[in-house]
Structure 1
Amino acid sequence: MNQKPEDITISQTNHELGSRFDCTYLSSTVEAAKDPLPWKCMLYFIFISTPFSIFAYIWILSTFFAAVGTSLIPFIGYFFWWLWALSWRSLGRIELLATRLCSETDFDIELLPKVYIDLSCECKFFPPILDKYTWRCFAYFVFIKWFITPFTLAYALILFLIWLLPPCLLLSSNGLILLGKMQYKLTRQFLLDD
């Protein structure tokens, strides 16, 4: 029953270190659960990104082939090219706005490319069709977004499942934030930056 004084101080030090570690880890876990950014990233990847990218892929490809088919009829074909180019630009703008969920910083909405283009140039009918942003939206949804969506969805679902395990909450939150930042940067670089 007699303990040496040094044994008592060692056990007290170990107990203090253990309780400090547990408190730090617990407070970090609670802070991670309270942080809205991982929740918004999860919402974006599971409920917004996947259905939207499937819709955009189908819409852009079907309208592209319909526009190519109607190009044989001069005035009707031009009208459909113009209309569908504007719809592709709208999809790009929606994607840029939706990825703001995954970012801590917000960009100015005025920086977003306009859906409608100023028609004050000589060629009043072709600007949306010939604009670089229109074709960036086409390439983004048909090639890039369509390719990365299954991976980001799988990663987000795995992180969501391990999120339910309390020891993994902190890791999962950080993983979702990292995935969200990567998606935000990719979308912004491809659709917004020249």
Structure 2
Amino acid sequence: MNEPRKPTDVNVRSSANIVVVDHINEDDFCTSLWSNAKEPQGWASFAYFILLSPIFSGFCAVWIWITFILAIPTLILPPLGFFWCIWTAWSWRALGRLEILTTQICTKPGQCTGYPDDKLPPILRVPNDNGGRIRFAVLLCTNKYTWQCFVYFAIIKPVAMVIFLISAVFLLICALPPFTLLGLPFMCLGCKKMGELQVHLTRSYLIINNYRSD
């Protein structure tokens, strides 16, 4: 009868090497996955989408629509309408500047290349202003960036806030027991990616287009 074939040294070494390589790959995957839970950007983005963004987005949407509606009847009274429209346009542009600065907590400094941090959109200055208060008021109220701020806070920001908020809550649910081992690092990774997307959305709309138009 044929005796059972004994494994050779080569087979034993090969099998052992395969097991070691598999364990190394699993360790690298777990280490890489849990490294996301150690990065502050994921937690900062989670706090932004859960706490800061809903409050700020709601305030901006209400402010934008109220000032816009009140600006229409004030045009009947030129002195009042003049100052109200200028102040309204300034407030919209100031909210745009504040939005750019607050979303920076979601990413690392200098991570978003192509968006110059030292060239924030102007609040009190408009292009082609050659003097004159009436001309300045007309240019400020009809400037493209002024209405970009209106569209962003009246439509784009509320919609994006709802989507990001629902996504953040879903990731939080996935991070609760018994899925914490995998759910928590995936929550941090997902929030970090959403933070980068939020910064890209904000800056591409409130910085890049502004400089192209100016």
The bucket for the TM-score relative to the shorter chain is 0.7 to 0.9
With structure 1 as the length reference, what TM-score do the two structures score? 0.85
Q: What is the CA–CA distance in structure 1 between the aligned matches of 2:42 and 2:51, rounded to whole Å? A: 14
8 Å CA contact 1:152–1:179 kept in 2: the answer is: yes
Q: Which runs of 4+ in 1 moved over 3 A?
A: 4-15, 106-109, 124-127
Q: Distance in 2 between matches of 1:170 and 1:24?
A: 14
Answer with 25-34 or 54-63: which moved more: 25-34
Q: Root-mean-square deviation (CA), in Å?
A: 2.4
Q: Which residue of 2 aligns with 1:147?
A: 159
Greater alpha carbon shift after TM alignment, 50-59 vs 33-42 = 33-42
Gaps of 5+ in 2: 1-5, 210-214
Q: 1:163 and 1:44, CA in 2 relative to 1: closer, same or farther beyond 3 A?
A: same
Amino-acid identity (%): 31
- Other-structure match for 2:52: 48
User: Is it true that 1:86 corresponds to 2:96 in the alignment?
Assistant: no
The CA deviation at 1:101 is 2.0
> Highest Rg: 1 or 2?
2
List runs of 5+ in structure 1 lacking aligned partners.
none
1:183 aligns with 2:198: yes
Q: Among residues 118, 122, 128, which one is paired with 1:110 in the alignment?
A: 118
TM-score of the superposed pair, with normalisation by structure 2: 0.78
Query: 1:169 pairs with 172, 177, 184, which one?
Result: 184
Please identify, of 105-114 and 145-154, the stretch whose mean Cα deviation from structure 2 is larger: 105-114
Amino acid in structure 1 at the alignment position of 2:73: G
Structure 2 residue 122 is matched with structure 1 residue 121: no
Deviations 1:110-149 (CA, angstroms, capped at 9, x unpaired): 3111222267623243333122111110010111112221
Give the conservation status (yes or no) of the 8 Å contact 1:163–1:173: no
Could you say what secondary structure the match of 1:125 adopts? helix
145-154 or 125-134, larger mean C-alpha shift: 125-134
Q: Which moved more, 1:58-67 or 1:15-24?
A: 15-24
Specify the code of the residue in structure 1 equivalent to 2:93. Answer: R
Distance, in Å, in 2 between the alignment partners of 1:121 and 1:45 is: 42
Shift of 1:171: 2.8
State the number of aligned residues: 192
Question: Aligned partners of 2:159 and 2:27: how far apart in 1?
Answer: 42
Whether contact under 8 Å (2:92, 2:150) holds in the other structure is: yes
